[in-house]
Amino acid sequence: MKTELELFRATRINTIGLLKGLTLDQINKIPDGFTGNIAWHIGHMVSTHKGLVYQLNSVPGGLEKEFVMKYKKDSKPESPIEQAEFEFITSELLNQVDELETDLQKDEFFGKNIPYSTSYNFDLNSFEECLKFSNLHQALHLGYIMALKRSL
């Protein structure tokens, strides 16, 4: 579990590093050839981590339903985000790492896993699989963010 947490933290730190120096307009921009923007990808990372690691393991995710719906799989940016939402998302990028690290110290924190077939054609059947897949998912979206930033 230690390696998974370290990878999770590294991906989130790298994501935040990519955001440095960008304006809110740049974060909201959908470049030609893309269907999303950096804002959507970081919101999706925050939302999906909670779904994969918490909700699929019978633990409430703790995010507002409206937020989850805005950033769920197959959604797309409907409007630019404001500074307050950007600040919430960026704070959650690291807060979620600390939260997971704390939660993993609790006995029996994660309950019964709810099996889930991902759009990656991979079935999740345990907490460990959910955490590992979440890391893969985070890295995939980090790659999108890198490409979006280069296209600005």
DSSP string over 99-116: HHHHHTTSTT-S-----E
DSSP-derived secondary structure for 71-138: TSTT----SPPPHHHHHHHHHHHHHHHHHHHHHTTSTT-S-----EE-TTS-EE-SHHHHHHHHHHHH
The predicted-structure confidence for 44-80, as pLDDT tens digits, reads as follows: 999 999 999 999 999 988 999 999 999 999 999 999 9
Q: What are the φ/ψ torsions at residue 29 (nearest 5 degrees)?
A: -70, 135
> What is the pLDDT at residue 68?
97
**Please, are residues 57 and 113 in contact by the beta-carbon 8 Å criterion?**
yes
**Please, are residues 148 and 20 in contact by the beta-carbon 8 Å criterion?**
no
> What is the pLDDT at residue 28?
98
Number of domains in the chain: 1
**Residue span of the structural domain in which 99 resides:** 2-151
Residue 57, amino acid: N
**Please, are residues 152 and 26 in contact by the beta-carbon 8 Å criterion?**
yes
> What is the pLDDT at residue 112?
86
Q: Report how far residue 142's alpha carbon sits from residue 137's, in angstroms, rounded to the nearest whole number.
A: 9
Q: Where are the alpha helices (DSSP H) in 20-80?
A: 24-28, 38-49, 65-70
DSSP class of residue 72? S
Spatial neighbors of 98 by CB under 8 A, at least 6 apart, are none
Kindly give the parts of the chain with pLDDT less than 70. none
CATH of the domain at 108: 1.20.120.450
Beta bridge partners of residue 26, listed in sequence order: none
Read off the pTM.
0.96
